[in-house]
């Protein structure tokens, strides 16, 4: 092997081409997952890549074509557990594709949001963007990406679903299913904590809660419905108000697990027997749900799978708009039971 076959003891694309007995252009085509390479040749190159433990330079790939081999995930969310699952799902798909992930937090209420997104694109030249809620519904972000002709995929959009490719689950039905489960257990006084106002899912989950009550002939009582912010402290605050009512609820359904954790904390602080005196349900099925005591009954939102699917749609995008809807699941644990008899 010649000295120039290595650069600072690092395997190069030339080394791979020599080992596979093909041209460097063919190696490049295989690495970039291009067509017009026979399966036999592709297998030979991939074997050489594995044997030599070759990791292509992102800079070299950028110079070789028009792609940056980077995508951005832009988010603004108060639940660290939710965001961790979103990042993990996108990152897993990026790893398979050999693409770098840039995770960019943002503030959807910022008056400079559009220019901040534009600056990110100018500095990184990302090949595409994935938008998580509530950024997914920020009109200025969508307009900026479209103005710059940057491909993007939306996770759980609440508005203009046909505007761009997206992945989602049915938040209305999921909340309906959980409320119906509590009704089936015998609860009629069911508290509900709404999520953050800038998330479309918050209204959708409230609608599902109300729809289940209406179908079961249970009166909707505004005093049992309080605002939250998808964080622990707002769950605590809402629980204190609900449990101070002259006729408190026998069950509380929080719009995410973080707020449900706040409810459980307040219940423990007050010495309530769980779930005998109070049933508690959440939404998302983050890792937190199974770590609480009692373990939390919740809606399993396929968060990681949604993120993985969003990245897959982005990588497969050829100009067409596509949508995927993933199923939810009720995860029944020890935090819910029939209400205690009066």
Question: 153: helix, coil or strand?
Answer: strand
DSSP 283-316: EE--HHHHHSSSPPEEEE--HHHHHHHHHHHHHH
Residues of the chain with pLDDT under 50: 1-9, 59, 62-64
CATH of domain 171-301: 3.40.50.2300
> DSSP letter at 219?
P
For residues 257 and 82, give the distance between their C-alpha atoms in angstroms, rounded to a whole number: 9
Fold of 70-169+304-326: Rossmann fold (3.40.50)
Question: 130: helix, coil or strand?
Answer: strand
Q: What is the pLDDT of residues 279-323, one digit of tens each?
A: 999 999 999 999 999 999 999 999 999 999 999 999 998 778 999
Q: Looking at residue 69, what is its pLDDT? A: 86
Q: What is the pLDDT of residues 90-105, one digit of tens each?
A: 999 999 988 999 999 9
The domain segmentation of the chain, as residue ranges, is: 3-64, 70-169+304-326, 171-301
pTM above 0.85, yes or no: no
| Class for the domain spanning 3-64 | mainly alpha
> DSSP letter at 136?
G
Q: Looking at residue 3, what is its pLDDT? A: 37
One fold for 70-169+304-326 and 171-301: yes
Q: Looking at residue 66, what is its pLDDT? A: 63
Peptide bond into 219 cis (omega under 30): no
Q: How far does Cα 80 stand from its chain's mean position?
A: 11
Q: Looking at residue 23, what is its pLDDT? A: 86
The structure tokens listed for 272 are: 């309530």
């Amino acid at each position: 092997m010649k000295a120039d076959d290595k650069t600072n003891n690092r395997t190069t694309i030339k080394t791979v081409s020599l080992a596979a007995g093909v041209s460097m252009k063919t190696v490049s085509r295989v690495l970039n997952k291009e067509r017009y390479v026979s399966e036999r040749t592709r297998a030979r190159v991939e074997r050489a890549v594995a044997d030599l433990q070759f990791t292509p330079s992102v800079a070299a790939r950028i110079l070789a074509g028009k792609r940056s081999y980077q995508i951005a995930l832009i988010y603004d969310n108060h639940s660290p557990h939710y965001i961790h699952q979103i990042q993990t799902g996108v990152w897993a798909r990026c790893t398979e594709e050999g693409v770098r992930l840039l995770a960019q937090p943002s503030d959807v209420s910022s008056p400079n949001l559009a220019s901040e997104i534009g600056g990110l694109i100018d500095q990184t030249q990302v090949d595409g963007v994935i938008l998580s809620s509530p950024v997914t519904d920020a009109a200025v972000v969508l307009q900026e990406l479209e103005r710059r002709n940057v491909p993007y995929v939306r996770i759980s959009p609440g508005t203009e679903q046909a505007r761009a490719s997206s992945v989602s689950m049915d938040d209305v039905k999921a909340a309906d299913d959980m409320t119906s489960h509590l009704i089936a257990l015998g609860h009629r006084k069911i508290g509900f904590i709404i999520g953050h106002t800038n998330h479309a899912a918050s209204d959708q989950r409230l609608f599902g809660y109300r729809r289940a009550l209406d179908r079961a002939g249970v009166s909707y009582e505004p005093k049992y419905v309080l605002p939250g912010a998808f964080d622990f402290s707002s769950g605590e605050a809402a629980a204190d108000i609900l449990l101070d009512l002259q006729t408190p609820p026998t069950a509380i359904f929080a719009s995410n697990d973080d707020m449900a954790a706040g409810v459980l904390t307040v219940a423990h602080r007050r010495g309530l027997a769980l779930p005998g005196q109070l049933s508690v349900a959440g939404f998302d099925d983050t890792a937190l749900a199974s770590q609480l005591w009692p373990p939390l009954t919740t809606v399993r939102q396929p968060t990681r799978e949604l993120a993985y699917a969003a990245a897959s749609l982005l990588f497969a995008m050829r100009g067409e708009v596509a949508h995927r809807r993933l199923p939810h699941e009720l995860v029944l644990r020890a935090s819910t039971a029939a209400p205690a008899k009066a």
